[in-house]
Amino acid sequence: MILPGFGLAAQEKLDRAKVLIVGMGALGCPALQYLVGAGVGQIGIVDPDTISESNLHRQLLYGQADIRKSKVAIAADAMRLQNPTIQITTYPIALERKNALELMEGYDLVIDATDNFQAKYILNDAAAILKIPLIYGAVSRYQGQVSVFHFPDKEGICFSYRDLFPIEPSDTIAGSCESLGVIGVLPGIIGCLQAAEAIKIITGIGRSLAGRLYTHDFLETSNYEIAILKNKNVQPLTRDAFLIAENQITEDWEEIDVDEISVEAFLDLQKNSQVYVLDVREREEYPPIDFSDAQIPMSELLQHIDRLPNKDIYIICHQGIRSVYAAQLIQANKGLKTYSIKGGITAYFNKLS
């Protein structure tokens, strides 16, 4: 290859590189094809799904004859024909918190070609812990996005997906291509951009998208680039906290013993030290209180549990019933010490008057 800045040394770096692609759908197919074409030596591909007819317009590695077959198996077969020297490892499994670190460890970089928020947050958090560059891609209707996380920008700062969106939303808010529809070429463009970022990072040429969120608009053929800034409220996740979050739906959390604290004891404590008070009433409930540090309604608590700081949490509600459940839920899912304020706000105001 005779390309200035891209000689034998670059080709050797590609040959030695190990890349993991998570998701073998509309982003993963083109990313894989171009990384194989570029000569990346070892590639892992992760996807538990089988091929369905509705995939074919945007997942061009697969054909009619492949329907109901494993995506990773068919993709690996096609790529081995294209370049038999490349080692392809197939993982026909779903990415989960409990397997993410093990899957990703040992790879030089990871491509996020997934189609749901849960997977995107798992990949982001695991990449942060392992300090592996993550090439993020996603599409929504006629627009697609690419960025690079956990890889230093030109000032040496590493950004996280959580700098953009600190809290994992529910998947009902945004949808996948399967449910909303997409023009196949758009994820094709985005998947190719992800492969391009991977090649740049591996070979060290050019400037990566680290620190920049790049949004491509299919209808306008235009792009919009946003400089990412650090979100000061986002704390790095420890390995333990990452794995605890795995048990988000713990069935027996209602069995957990909760320490209740009386209003008197709570008032004493408040006088002498800084305590973190969480109000779990719904937003429309009265009266408002001025001594809470946060209000997260019980109905949204699991979803927003990552907003809680890593300290003891004193929980208050109207009567002191919901706050017991909230205390159990936080202990089970975030491993924090929690106290329920006995009698709730009713007892609190009775005591004051």
Partner 1 sequence: MELLIFGSLTDIIGTDKLVLENPLDTELLKASLLKKYPSLEQTNYFLALNKIMVQEKKPLQEGDVVALMPAFSGG
243 is written with which tokens? 């794995």
Among 6, 165, 253, 276, binds partner 1 (CB under 8 A): 165
Cα distance between residue 308 and residue 320, in whole Å: 20
Q: Give the amino acid at 13.
A: K
Among 14, 21, 129, 164, binds partner 1 (CB under 8 A): 164
For 124, phi then psi, to 5°, come to -60, -45
CB of 90: closest distance to partner 1 in angstroms? 19
Among 70, 145, 208, 331, binds partner 1 (CB under 8 A): 145
Tell me whether residue 155 is exposed, middle or buried, using C-beta atoms within 10 angstroms of its C-beta: 0 to 12, 13 to 18, 19 or more. exposed
Among 133, 144, 188, 297, binds partner 1 (CB under 8 A): 144
Instruction: Select the span of 165-173, 266-274, 312-320, 332-340 touching partner 1 (CB under 8 A).
Output: 165-173
The footprint of partner 1 on residues 174-203 (CB under 8 A) is: 174-177, 180, 182, 187, 190
CB of 179: closest distance to partner 1 in angstroms? 9
Query: Is residue 146 within a helix (H) or strand (E), and if so which, with residue range?
Result: strand 143-149
Question: Taking a C-beta distance cutoff of 8 angstroms, is the pair 91, 44 a contact?
Answer: yes
Q: Give the amino acid at 195.
A: A
What is the DSSP code (8-state) at residue 67?
T
Q: Please tell me whether the peptide bond between 287 and the residue prior to it is cis, using omega within 30 degrees of 0.
A: yes
Rg (CA), the chain: 24
Nearest one of 43, 58, 47, 78 to 199, comparing CA atoms: 43
CB of 154 or CB of 271, closer to partner 1: 154
CB of 143 or CB of 208, closer to partner 1: 143
For 147, phi then psi, to 5°, come to -155, 175
CB of 131 or CB of 232, closer to partner 1: 232
Question: Taking a C-beta distance cutoff of 8 angstroms, is the pair 318, 285 a contact?
Answer: yes
CB of 12 or CB of 171, closer to partner 1: 171
Q: Please tell me whether residue 47 binds partner 1 under the rule CB under 8 A.
A: no
Q: Angle CA(40)–CA(42)–CA(48) in degrees, nearest 5?
A: 115
Instruction: Select the span of 9-17, 111-119, 235-243, 344-352 touching partner 1 (CB under 8 A).
Output: 111-119
3-state DSSP assignment of residue 122: helix
CB of 146 or CB of 341, closer to partner 1: 146
Query: Is residue 22 within a helix (H) or strand (E), and if so which, with residue range?
Result: strand 18-22
For 142, phi then psi, to 5°, come to -100, 10
CB of 233: closest distance to partner 1 in angstroms? 9
CB of 11 or CB of 215, closer to partner 1: 215
CB of 134 or CB of 138, closer to partner 1: 138
CB of 104 or CB of 113, closer to partner 1: 113
Among 21, 27, 35, 313, binds partner 1 (CB under 8 A): 27
The total of other beta-carbon atoms located within 10 Å of residue 225's CB is 11
CB of 90 or CB of 114, closer to partner 1: 114
**Which x/- pattern, by CB under 8 A, does the window 205-244 give for partner 1?**
--------x-x--------xxxxxxxxx------------
Cα distance between residue 15 and residue 202, in whole Å: 10
Q: Please tell me whether residue 114 binds partner 1 under the rule CB under 8 A.
A: yes
Q: Give the amino acid at 238.
A: T
Instruction: Select the span of 37-45, 93-101, 138-146, 290-298 touching partner 1 (CB under 8 A).
Output: 138-146
> Which residues sit at the interface with partner 1, rule CB under 8 A?
23, 25-28, 113-117, 120, 137-141, 143-145, 163-165, 167, 169, 171, 173-177, 180, 182, 187, 190, 213, 215, 224-232
